[in-house]
Amino acid sequence: MARAVTTRRKAVNTAIAWTIGLLIFFPILWTFLTSFKTEAEAISSPPAFLFFDWTLENYGAVQERSNYFRHFMNSVVISIGSTVIGLIIAVPAAWAMAFVPGRQTRNVLMWMLSTKMLPPVGVLVPIYLIFRDFGLLDTRTGLVIVLTLINLPIIVWMLYTYFREIPGEILEAARMDGASLRNEIIHVLTPMAVPGIASTLLLNVILAWNEAFWTLNLTAANAAPLTAFIASYSSPEGLFYAKLSAASTMAIAPILIIGWFSQKQLVRGLTFGAVK
């Protein structure tokens, strides 16, 4: 029998949830508001929250100084490209770990995840030299390769978790009906794990979109994504907070909108298999 939840308890839980949500969202809101201030108002003390002279001059200055659309397209190509290639590699890898018997599966997964614990700066020099020698510096191809390799452990881990929730008997029935390994993965396994694959895709697009370390160190101008676009507003002359906020707002707006409209699918995928 389900335990009844009182109206007071619901109200308290709702208030706590809203408070936590507002605290998490506040930096984004403050950045958005600062982007409409003048530079003097952006550093004023005490700061003005809503009552200030709203202006669009920062967005105009950002557009005049930088080619936003070029940086935006670089981010789209790099984030989506690295995620799609990662999924192509990770789906069969996660299938093998989930459905092929073996005692070493957990060890392999832990080894893959342990690579995420290495500080990126520890391998910056060898990767930089490899990219220089192969002509991959400041190219979209180079960034797609490095971000695919960086996020691949997370993609495999997530897909492995989702695949484990799918009954193996279904795949065995497909084999008995004459399905090849390729058809088993593409036509049987993948459609059943669409929620998990969708959430994995969305999460890794966000991770690749927000990646700053590698994009700042392996690009200069041609392949620079929006993270480099934001960093360009940190100059020896100082920080221009209003213009920096405008650039940040323009950089996070696309991924924020995508996350907002796909939140139902994302939550569904992240909770896939949690309730039986």
pLDDT for 157-172, tens place per residue? 888 888 888 887 887 7
pTM recorded for the entire structure: 0.82
pLDDT band of 3, cuts 50, 70, 90? low
Query: Is the Cβ–Cβ distance between 219 and 177 less than 8 Å?
Result: no
Higher pLDDT, residue 226 or 107: 226
**Residue 274 reports pLDDT greater than 90:** no
Domains and CATH numbers, the chain: 66-232 (1.10.3720.10)
Q: Cα–Cα distance between 175 and 203 in angstroms, integer?
A: 32
The predicted-structure confidence for 63-92, as pLDDT tens digits, reads as follows 888 888 899 999 999 999 999 999 999 988
**Are 208 and 151 within 8 A, CB to CB?**
yes
Note the pLDDT of residue 237: 55
Residue that has been written with the tokens 């209003």 in this structure = 242
Closest to 247 measured CA to CA, from 58, 118, 50: 58
What is the identity of the amino acid at 130? I
Give me 70's structure tokens. Answer: 């070029």
Provide the pLDDT for residue 275: 46
Average the pLDDT over 1-25 and give the result.
83
How does DSSP classify residue 186?
I
Measured over the CA atoms of residue 13, residue 17, residue 19 and residue 20, the dihedral's sign is positive
Q: Which residues pair with 125 in a beta bridge?
A: none
pLDDT at 202 over 90: no
44 versus 130: the higher-pLDDT residue is 130
Helix (H) or strand (E) holding 234: strand 234-235
Q: Classify 67 as helix, strand or coil.
A: coil
Please tell me the predicted confidence (pLDDT) of residue 1: 45
In whole angstroms, give the CA distance from residue 254 to residue 87: 22
Question: Nearest 5°: phi and psi at 21?
Answer: -60, -40
Can you read off the two tokens belonging to residue 60?
């105009």
Q: What is the mean pLDDT of residues 223-228?
A: 89
Instruction: Report the C-alpha gap between 257 and 26 in whole angstroms.
Output: 17
